[in-house]
A and B are shown apart, each in its own frame.
Chain A
Amino acid sequence: MNKVYMISVFAENKPGRLERITKVLTEANINILAFSITSTNGFGVIKFMVNKWKEAFDLLKERGFTVSLNEAIGIEMKDQPGGLYEVVKILSSKGINIESASVYVAETRKRAYLIVEIEDTAKAMDILKGENLKFLNPEEIK
């Protein structure tokens, strides 16, 4: 199955927190392909999709960050007007609810991926199998 992984890190909403996390990734020569921040009063969750997810996850854990690893699906879309619309139209027609999402631009103005986290990844992929969609192959981002 073409699953990808998102790394989530708990962070207090204070200056310097993102810097600390990205420094760890930088030093390990890990490339960030997509990321998002959700914050609310006092704290937030920072999510990354990286090329070496296992390594990044272990490293952040070892450095004492509160971190979790979550399955996600990368769905190819055209990096042009209407690209996102075409993809989410299919998801909504199948009743698939997006818990969280970010974007990985593989080739600017040509090809991008919508990275979505869904409650039941396996089930969602099963439903989407018959659709005219291309999934991001984890090998491709290594």
Chain B
Amino acid sequence: MYWNKELECISEEQLKELQFQRLKNTVKMAYEKVPYYRKKFDEAGITPDDIKKLDDLRKIPFTSKADLREVYPFGMFASPLSEIVEIHMSSGTTGKPVVAGYTLNDIEIWGEVMARCLTMIGTTKNDIVQVAYGYGLFTGGFGVHYGARKIGCMIVPASAGNTRRQIEIMRDFGTTILACTPSYALYMAEVAQEMGIEPTTLKLKAGCFGAEMWTEAMRTEIEKRFGLNAYNIYGLTEIIGPGVAHECVEKKGFHVFEDHFIAEIIDPDTGDPLPEGKRGELVLTTITREGMPMLRFRTRDITSLIEGKCACGRTFNRIERIRGRTDDMIKVRGVMLFPYQIEQAILEVQGVEPHYQIVITRPQHLDEIEVMVEMSKETFSDEVKHIENLKKNLERRIEDIIGIRVKVTLVEPKTLPRSEGKAKRIIDKRSLNE
């Protein structure tokens, strides 16, 4: 199902023309209205007139999260404050928060892209949409709300928390679409069971899950627990909030709404564009936003681009599931490495979610990787030879995936540090300043 078939199935040629026109306008507006962009353009020696074709986008300097913090709170706004009708803010866990301003038209666009997301997974005006993302400065709640309202759904603005009541509402109202973080969905399933409500008896048919990284294994779990179809939603405050991209029923990547956002994949080290299928950092440019146009924003999310028409009929390019953050990336012997790759290998061999830590050293002139893996109940054997085999299998599988030989050390359970939220996976002991 499409919300806006004409645009969602637009031909490549028409899309490129539309993107170019909109990009040109956005660049002009940014240059004229935002001193920060003007300064960056001047430093790079370019003007809006240098954008003569779509590919000229690459001439524009990147915008980073640090740039946005520097101009806190309103320095990136291209519209006067009198035209700004809504404000959202990122959490700012690592410094000053980022403030996003929306004009009335921006809110319209947000509703439009969110309506596409929800329709993509089968939502119609007959559905009851329970929004269990937080409402407030966080974009999650309002974003889904605006989309559902455009469709004409019955919205239950439950916001996050008060889990028992959420479940009672789902049961009593007959909620059909659930929108929340995937970890909260799993928690709700647990609580429902405690309350004596079997989650599969609820009327939920689909879920729109995002705002945090999650895995295929989690998807399977959520789908099994609730008997629904779980889909990925992608978005970020700096661009618009949720609704930048969404997964269709094919579950093979998320369609980026390219008539509003242009996606590029770059090598996070060099900034060079990467071809289709290559993993790198996602860079996004807004081409319709007025409140806060964003030019080549470095998301720090790692993914790859899937080009070409999808089986669902949409022509918008897709991004694959977010694989990690550039903050987690590490270069070893010149090779880009992410903890998720090692996690994947351990998961395949052990069959359980692993606790592990990666230690990088440089004893001589060559980097060495040691992967410490906690022994699990599931894989423990009382025979040393079996454990040695496990270790060898882990080493082999990791080498297959990352292309570098590693040393695996099996350690006792619960000996590696745990953390709430972001786990410290990499210990880099190389001294690189010699």
A associates with B: yes
Bound complex: CA A66 to CA B380 (Å): 7
Q: Is the CB of B381 within 8 A of A12?
A: no
Give the size range of B's interface with the partner: 10 to 19
**Which residue in A61, A66, A70 is a CB contact (below 8 Å) of B375?**
A66
A interface: dominant SS: strand
Interface status of B383 (Cβ within 8 A of chain A): yes
Per the 8 Å Cβ criterion, residues 255-297 of B in contact with A are none
Which residue in chain A gives the minimum CB-CB distance to B376? A66
Judging by beta carbons under 8 Å apart, are A12 and B412 in contact?
yes
List, in ascending order, chain B residues with CB within 8 A of A117's CB. Answer: 382
* Residue in chain A with minimal CB distance to B407: A42
Q: Could you say which of A17, A39, A65, A70 contacts B382, with CB atoms under 8 Å apart?
A: A70
Residue from the list B384, B411, B415 in contact with A45, Cβ < 8 A: B384
Chain B neighbourhood of A10, CB < 8 A: 375, 380, 387, 410, 412
Task: Mark B383-420 against chain A: 1 for CB-CB distance below 8 A, else 0.
Answer: 11001100000000000000000000111111100000
- A25 CB, min distance to chain B CBs, angstroms: 17
The complex places the Cα of A38 from the Cα of B387 at a distance, in Å, of 12
- Total residues of chain A contacting the partner, CB 8 A: 24
Q: State the CA gap A126–B412 with chains docked (Å).
A: 37
Q: In the bound complex, do residue A43 and residue B387 qualify as a contact, i.e. CB atoms below 8 Å apart?
A: yes
Asked whether B412 lies within 8 Å of A65 as measured between CB atoms, the reply is yes
Determine how close the nearest CB of chain B comes to the CB of A67; give it in whole angstroms: 8
CB atoms of A68 and B382 under 8 A apart: yes
In the complex formed, the residue of B with least CB distance to A17 is B412
- How many angstroms from the CA of A117 to the CA of B387 in the assembled complex? 17
Q: Do residues B412 and A66 form an inter-chain contact, with CB atoms below 8 A?
A: yes
B410 touches A42 (CB 8 A): yes
B377 near A: Cβ within 8 Å?
Answer: yes
Nearest-Cβ distance from residue B351 to partner chain A, whole angstroms? 15
CB distance from A68 to the nearest CB of B (A): 5
Q: List 20 A-B contacts (CB under 8 A).
A: A10-B410, A12-B410, A12-B411, A12-B412, A38-B384, A40-B384, A40-B388, A42-B409, A42-B410, A44-B384, A47-B382, A61-B377, A64-B413, A65-B412, A65-B413, A66-B375, A66-B377, A67-B380, A68-B380, A117-B382
Contact surface of A with B, Cβ cutoff 8 Å: 6, 8, 10-12, 17, 38-40, 42-45, 47, 61, 64-68, 70, 99-100, 117
Give the A-binding residues of B (Cβ under 8 A). 375-377, 380-384, 387-388, 409-415
